[in-house]
Copies of this chain bind each other. A is one copy, B any other.
């Protein structure tokens, strides 16, 4: 079993397309995914799991039903399961997500933005 360092800047350099998720590491059944987010996403919730957003570079907002969070580099937030949220980047935001493998990006909302690939880079 090879145990290797994951350098975020190197992984982001391999991410040629915005708004696509790529998997960079796995801890038990949890995956770490990167995205160069440049969009306003949709309202959704994950009924079965919490989800962690960690901003590596840039800024983003996460709207909740009662307030809007504004995150910058080295901020993280855990969205509890069942809590509706709508992420939106401020320009391009380089983001790391941590969530169980198989978690759908669109949660309970589904629709055309659903992305089930999450290839490893």
Contact = CB atoms under 8 A, between A and B. Distances in A.
A8 B76 contact: yes
Nearest to A6: B76
Contacts of A9: 74
A102 to B, nearest CB: 14
A98 interface: yes
B25 A78 contact: yes
B3 A79 contact: yes
Given A3-B69, A5-B77, A27-B78, 13 more contacts: A3-B77, A3-B78, A3-B80, A5-B69, A5-B70, A5-B71, A6-B75, A6-B77, A6-B78, A8-B74, A8-B76, A25-B77, A27-B98
Nearest to A55: B5
A13 interface: no
Q: Copy number of this protein in the oligomer?
A: 2
Interface in A1-54: 1, 3-9, 25-28, 30, 32, 49-52
Interface string A63-89: 010000111001111111101000000
A90 interface: no
